[in-house]
Amino acid sequence: MFRALPALFALILTASLSVSATAQTDYRVDVEQFYQQLLENHPAPYARTSQAAWETHYTDLMAAAQSMSEDEFLVRMSAFAALVGDGHTNLLPFYAPPESFANRLPVRFDVFEEGIFVTHTTAPLAHLAGAKVTAINGHAIKTVIAEFSAVIGGDNPQWAKRWLPTLLTYPNYLEGLQLGAGDRNAPQQFELELEGQTIFADITASAARDPLVEARASVSELIDPALIYGFTQLPDTDTVYAVYREVADSEDETVAQFAARLFAYIEDNQIDRLIFDIRENGGGNNYLNQPFLHGMIASRVNRPGGLYILTGRMTFSAAMNIATRTERHTQALFVGEDTSGAPNHYGDPTFGALPVSGLPYIMSTLFWQDSQPDDQRNTLTPDIQVAVRWSDWVEGRDAALETAIRHQVPDGTEVVSPPARWARASQVNPRGAPE
């Protein structure tokens, strides 16, 4: 489970400590506390990194932590946490920001198949909307991506892809990784490609939260973006599209009530196909998922070509629980991107803050085995892979949904025994051995 982070952090963080970006501080207490908490709370701290490797990293970090700048410690500590190799064990300073995280760049990015693009800007930077990022402060974007990925712990690389755009807006990371301008308050130089031309832009972080404008025309949403779940029958079809954005009860309807309403509609209206979208679902209380699973198993759409699950880089935690259980117990076909969660994964994080730096962190406390005991996959790979492309996004096209709508299974497709579904041909992505 992965509940709403801001509220939980607010409960545990009554104060944040702040030091300057360049002052040298002794952070050994932080390193020691985090490592001890890891050994006490995590079910398998050595599952992805061997004990010997952990001890080496710990010794090296403790020696360096005696005299380190705030930004250097941020990235070194983040990389240390990332050794665990699960998305529920990470530093997350932007959820309950210490004072040093007050400033952000006034642009937003996202990762597409074609590269990293500027998706949102403030009005003064509107001329950068839609530009592709090719370098930052003279460092090629490929180098930047590799350096950032090392400080984002995850079940698989999709979690870094999901969080990289957020981290890029904080100069703290650029400076700590020695990719910055030399001062987090100084302009960061971006090399961009726009309409075939190379342009340079100096962008300075600010505490101001001016409105951001999206780099595309408004998009017509099938389900109101303000709703955490909802469904609609697609015009002139026997297909229902349902979106499930958070594993949580809404103010007006519980998950169980929504599931009952969805499957009653499917039966009453003789619906032959359900497209269930969990691409934006980062988790919640996975005990609320059960009505969906039972509804899918019993539904008339539970057959080859009748049930499609849309997944992506945000499909994580409690959303991963429903994805894996659906895979195991139904005939669903998966469409879209790899999930950021693993079928068998660590979760239910505890929350804390490091005493010297004030940096918030989360840490897994439980193991969830929703798939076979010998399932070593680090992601659920869609049966029909659909990349997230800039060319589709900027035009307002939903390629994964369009693919699911027009997909047809061949006549005579056999029902696959649920226990064997996780081993089908599309699921070749075993985890690596510990270091």
pLDDT at 8: 45
Six-digit token string for 377: 């996959």
Q: Is the pLDDT of residue 15 over 70?
A: no
pLDDT at 271: 98
The answer to whether residues 279 and 338 touch, using CB atoms and an 8 Å cutoff, is no
pLDDT at 23: 63
pTM reported for the whole predicted model: 0.93
The answer to whether residues 152 and 145 touch, using CB atoms and an 8 Å cutoff, is no
pLDDT at 260: 98
Residue 19 three-state SS = coil
Q: How far is CA 329 from CA 371, 425, 428, in A?
A: 10, 18, 20
pLDDT digits (tens, 9 = 90+) for 146-163: 999 999 999 999 999 999
Q: At what angle do helices 51-64 and 28-41 cross, to 10 degrees?
A: 160
Percent of the chain with pLDDT over 90: 85
Six-digit token string for 421: 């579904």
Give the class (CATH, top level) of 103-214. Answer: mainly beta
φ and ψ at 230, to 5 degrees?
180, 170
pLDDT digits (tens, 9 = 90+) for 117-127: 999 999 999 99
All CATH 2.30.42.10 domain ranges of the chain, comma separated, are: 103-214
pLDDT at 414: 86
Percent of the chain with pLDDT over 70: 94
- Domain 229-342+377-409+416-423 grouped into CATH 3.90.226.10: yes
Rg (CA), the chain: 22
All CATH 3.90.226.10 domain ranges of the chain, comma separated, are: 229-342+377-409+416-423
Q: Is the pLDDT of residue 423 over 50?
A: yes
pLDDT at 98: 86
Q: Is the pLDDT of residue 12 over 50?
A: no
Cα–Cα distance for residue pair 316/219, rounded to 1 Å = 25
pLDDT at 419: 78
The answer to whether residues 239 and 274 touch, using CB atoms and an 8 Å cutoff, is yes
- Mean pLDDT for the stretch of residues 85-106: 92
Q: Is the pLDDT of residue 284 over 80?
A: yes
pLDDT digits (tens, 9 = 90+) for 185-208: 999 999 999 999 999 999 999 999
197, 222, 216: which is closest to 391 by C-alpha?
A: 216
Beta bridge partners of 77: none
Q: State the DSSP H helix or E strand holding residue 263, giving kind and residue range, or none if neither.
A: helix 255-268
Q: How far is CA 212 from CA 87, 106, 221, in A?
A: 28, 8, 19
The DSSP call for residue 339 is P
pLDDT at 135: 98
Q: How far is CA 217 from the centre of its chain?
A: 25
Higher pLDDT, residue 422 or 131:
131
Six-digit token string for 391: 């060319």
Q: Alpha-carbon torsion 395, 396, 402, 405, what sign? A: negative
The answer to whether residues 202 and 189 touch, using CB atoms and an 8 Å cutoff, is yes
Specify whether the backbone of 241 is left (phi greater than 0), alpha (psi in -120 to 50) or beta. beta
Q: Alpha-carbon torsion 329, 404, 426, 158, what sign? A: negative
In the chain, how many H helices and how many E strands?
12, 18
User: Rounded mean pLDDT of the chain?
Assistant: 92
pLDDT at 435: 55
Cα angle vertex 328, ends 322, 329, to 5°? 90
pLDDT digits (tens, 9 = 90+) for 21-44: 556 789 999 999 999 999 999 999
pLDDT digits (tens, 9 = 90+) for 306-326: 999 999 999 999 999 999 999
Of the pLDDT bands very low, low, confident and very high (cuts 50, 70, 90), residue 115 is very high
Q: Is the pLDDT of residue 7 over 50?
A: no
Cα–Cα distance for residue pair 143/136, rounded to 1 Å = 10
The answer to whether residues 431 and 47 touch, using CB atoms and an 8 Å cutoff, is no
